[in-house]
Amino acid sequence: MSRARWSEEGRDWPNRASSRFVDAGRVRWHVQVMGAGPVVLLVHGTGAATHSWRDLAPLLAQRFTVVAPDLPGHGFTTGRPAGGLAMPALARALGDLLDALDVAPDLVVGHSAGAAIALRMVLDRRIRPAGVVGLSSALMPFPGLAAKVFPTLARMLFVNPFAPHLVAAMARGPGDAERFLRQATGSRIATDGVALYRALFATSDQVAGAITMMASWDLEAFARDLPKVTVPTLLIHGAADRAIPSASVRQAAALLPDSRVELLPGLGHLAHEERPADIAGLIGRFAEHLVTGSE
């Protein structure tokens, strides 16, 4: 396996001055902490890392203390929590990291699968935030035939020891990362962001982490728990998202007792990387609403 190296791939990592490495349980976490004020935990999605918050995190840090880790199997975090990369295991491991940092989030922002992890932490009472923001939230099982095909394909790749190397090799080709991101997400992001995704997916550890997460998750069981979520939830979604259909997000919102959906025209799955200032504004207004009760 090849691994992202802090001395190489991390040399010009976004917001590097805010990075630190923290040991918690079986995991050595790469985490970025910046800003001051109420604590906001940022949880990235499958296949991403802290680079996905490169522009949003500094904007939020103007009014919040931002805590943004690389999940196990992603970025520069190493080790595996007990239970692997299944959602409950990641929720527990993130709780252990917060304990090690001695912080309790007032708000959690999760992108894609990170939104599910955030809500799992709430359901399991590892955190007690005032609210949760989901960006392009992956909360519901894949519709129709995809419900069977996608998880099965992920498991097939997971048991093939050569799969991470093959996918990583594909990511090294010129233009491959940009085409993949555009086709898979519907987003157009800046070239520096594409380069960071390309660097990560050129390492087989990053690919293996993403595949392992996909193979380990049970969204059907998770969806049955959504009506138990008691905290207010804002689901921000790009109307051009090719990864998560807006109908899936509305379906999840209907199950959550206190939620609303904010649909953003023209943006894709990586809306927070396309329009970080707009997303920061929506998060800030949601935080104000939680405190004052005003819209």
Is the residue at 126 inside a domain?
Answer: yes
Q: CB–CB of 239/206 below 8 Å?
A: no
**CA distance linking residue 230 with residue 120, whole number of Å:** 12
- Tokens of residue 134, six digits: 């989901």
CA dihedral 116, 94, 268, 249 (to 10 degrees): 10
Identify the helix (H) or strand (E) that includes residue 199: helix 191-201
Whether this model's pTM surpasses 0.85: yes
CB atoms within 10 A of CB 221: 11
CB atoms within 10 A of CB 152: 11
Is the residue at 154 inside a domain?
Answer: no
Our count of domains for the chain comes to 1
Assign residue 115 the CATH number of its domain: 3.40.50.1820
Phi then psi for 234, rounded to 5 degrees?
A: -110, 120
Query: What angle, rounded to 10 degrees, do the helices at 163-171 and 204-216 form?
Result: 120
Phi then psi for 79, rounded to 5 degrees?
A: 95, 165
At which residue do the structure tokens 């982490």 appear?
Answer: 209
Is the residue at 199 inside a domain?
Answer: no
- Classified as helix, coil or strand, 134 is strand
Is the residue at 24 inside a domain?
Answer: yes
Return all residues near 18 (Cβ < 8 A) that are at least 6 apart: 32, 33, 34, 57
Is the residue at 168 inside a domain?
Answer: no
Per residue of the chain (295 residues), what is the pLDDT tens digit?
588 999 999 999 999 999 999 999 999 999 999 999 999 999 999 989 999 999 999 999 999 999 999 999 999 999 999 999 999 999 999 999 999 999 999 999 999 999 999 999 999 999 999 999 999 999 998 654 344 444 544 444 444 554 455 455 545 555 666 777 788 889 999 999 988 988 888 888 888 888 888 777 888 899 999 999 999 999 999 999 998 899 999 999 999 999 999 999 999 999 999 999 999 999 999 999 998 765 5
Is the residue at 53 inside a domain?
Answer: yes
**CA distance linking residue 208 with residue 168, whole number of Å:** 9
Is the residue at 115 inside a domain?
Answer: yes
Is the residue at 2 inside a domain?
Answer: no
Domain that holds residue 256: 16-144+218-292
